[in-house]
Amino acid sequence: MYSNEDFLIELLQEGGYVDEAAIEDVRHKGGQDSLLEGLLKLNKVTEEDVAKTMATNSGMDFLDIGKVDIDRSAVEAVEGTTALRYKIVPVVNTGTQLVVAIADPLDFDTLDSVRHVLPIEPEFVCAPRSQITQCLLEFYSADMTDEQRGQLNTDSIAVMGGEESEGGDAPIIKLVHQILQEAYQNRASDIHIEPLEKELRIRYRIDGALHKVQSHPTSLLSAVISRIKIMTGSMSIAEKRVPQDGRIQAKMGDSDLDLRVSTVPTTFGESVVMRILDKSSLSLGLPQLGFFSDDQETFDQMIRLPDGILLVTGPTGSGKTTTLYACLNSINKPDRKIITVEDPVEYLLSGINQVQVKEDIGMTFAAALRSILRQAPNIIMIGEIRDLETASIAINASLTGHLVFSTLHTNDAPSAVARLADIGVKKFLVASAVRAIMAQRLVRKICPECAKEGELTLKEMRALNLSEDQMSDADIKEGVGCRTCRMTGFKGRMGIFEIFKISEEVSHLINGDESTPQLRKRARELGMRTLREDGVRKVLSGLTTASEVVRVTMSDSD
């Protein structure tokens, strides 16, 4: 805890942060390691109150770390072992002075030691202890031992308050809430809670990449898993031998979240993945997906056709469902009946009839489609075409005047023709029914807060097939890393697209049984921009990096 706690409590009383009644209440309840710890746990005082009181008494400035961007050069100026040993966070590096945040300015031995070990003269400021702990976990996790990481996370649990803290489960309730809140604040799409041999690892998937953010003692596993299962209201806390699925509805700030929960038994206990579905993303329009104006105009024309099939292709996690939802939002009008068949229904869309596939009771994609066609819809969205029966019903629906949206798993747009043929669809039906196929990938966007002018290496220029002429008007950017983007240089993702329109000439080629390479070659001659070419446009516009585009696309010569 803090040094000289009795003196600190006196200061808190003098400052009006706590009164004698609150102190007596904590003494009466007991069960705490110290009186100050009890005051914090029972919310009689806050960490901010403590930090402000100590800052005033010590002649230091108070700093709310959450409201400032930590200087990357400051973090690099202090070795991880030093920061962890003395529990200090470097905030600003002026070159001649280092602003350092500490939680306990009354610990004079630590202050003297820090002055001797730092390479630059420190100026101390006082910050809440939990903020110090979180920054250490965020910036120096790679330098931590499992014991240090576990102790820091245990410290963060220890200060979680609330009147219900008298109960043994209260810290776990607070911990789970903290995990959900932190994941939401960091724009995570998934939360991974994984039991390992010596630790309980917490990771968030942010902008498509996994980041280790917390580590806890394995002794917390059972309680954390049980709390999550209880929150779903449908998962059994007694059953740990088989996988289970559930759903949690939560509110974070002004946002309503759906969390799809999946557990699976592993060697060291149950592993949990929670997928975060933010309903605010339902308001996404086509521009927010990453379309440039020309592709947006083309795509907008396609989704307003009276009939036919529009396919969106790409691997799992490439944003296909989000694109289809954006399409439906764009064309959802009172004079149109729209029905979707999904597995699972990820978001509830206002004004749209959504059908959940339940294969265990015979409610397959095909069975659902046969029924909904009798509902006289204008527009149908099929979560995925998986087999010949589903594909045949979709094609028949499109040929009888319905507009059908669906997805396929293929690497590029022209390959979707061969994929449909592989599952048994006659090519003349593909040529007649399909109006357009769009392949897509997701790339990370450069963080606007720390973006600076950049340049491409010769290797990157060769990989993207760029000439010196193309580089003359380029606006190359790179993210140097900041607190906003967790020092990654990226914030958010956007799509890159390959739009393959099935024109009359392309229909003849499909009927003529042309190979996929020949279809792709002719499509490019007719103006189709490949995934990599669209990615290059976004690199030259300063929206993403060359490495991102190379990572998610094949070379056009492949």
CA dist., res. 300 & res. 382, Å (int): 19
Q: pLDDT tens digits for 263-304?
A: 999 999 999 999 987 665 555 667 778 898 899 999 999 999
10 Å CB burial of residue 527 (0-12, 13-18, 19+) is: exposed
E strands in 279-427: 308-313, 338-342, 353-356, 379-382, 403-408
Please report the pLDDT score of residue 530 as a whole number: 94
Ranking 178-192, 244-258, 355-369 by mean pLDDT, the lowest is 244-258
Q: Give yes or no for a cis peptide into 344 (omega within 30° of 0).
A: yes
Please report the pLDDT score of residue 121 as a whole number: 84
**Residue 445: closest CA among 499, 498, 485:** 485
Average pLDDT, the chain: 86
Band (pLDDT 50/70/90 cuts) for residue 471 is confident
Please report the pLDDT score of residue 163 as a whole number: 38
On the question of pLDDT at 305 being above 80, the answer is yes
Taking residues 11-40, what's their average pLDDT? 80
Band (pLDDT 50/70/90 cuts) for residue 251 is confident
Query: What stretch of H or E contains 354?
Result: strand 353-356
**Residue 486: closest CA among 114, 220, 232, 185:** 185
User: What pTM does this model have?
Assistant: 0.68
E strands in 292-334: 308-313
* High-pLDDT (> 90) share of the chain, %: 40
Please report the pLDDT score of residue 123 as a whole number: 92
Please report the pLDDT score of residue 168 as a whole number: 46
The 8-class DSSP code of residue 125 comes to: E
Taking residues 125-133, what's their average pLDDT? 88
Q: What are phi and psi of 364, to 5 degrees?
A: -85, 175
Cβ–Cβ under 8 Å, residues 443 and 548:
yes
Please report the pLDDT score of residue 284 as a whole number: 62
Q: Which residues contact 514 (CB under 8 A, 6 or more apart)?
A: 522
Please report the pLDDT score of residue 351 as a whole number: 87
CA dist., res. 88 & res. 122, Å (int): 11
Range 472-511 burial, b when 16+ CB lie within 10 A, else e: eebebbbbebbbebbbbbbbbbbbbbbbbbbeeebbebbe
The β-bridge partners of 271 are 264
Taking residues 100-117, what's their average pLDDT? 89
Query: What stretch of H or E contains 505?
Result: helix 504-511
**Residue 100: closest CA among 79, 80, 83, 81:** 83
On the question of pLDDT at 164 being above 50, the answer is no
Please report the pLDDT score of residue 31 as a whole number: 57
Please report the pLDDT score of residue 254 as a whole number: 67
CA dist., res. 265 & res. 272, Å (int): 9
The 8-class DSSP code of residue 169 comes to: T
Q: Residues 251, 254, 260, 263: is their CA dihedral positive or negative? A: negative
Q: pLDDT tens digits for 380-391?
A: 999 999 899 999
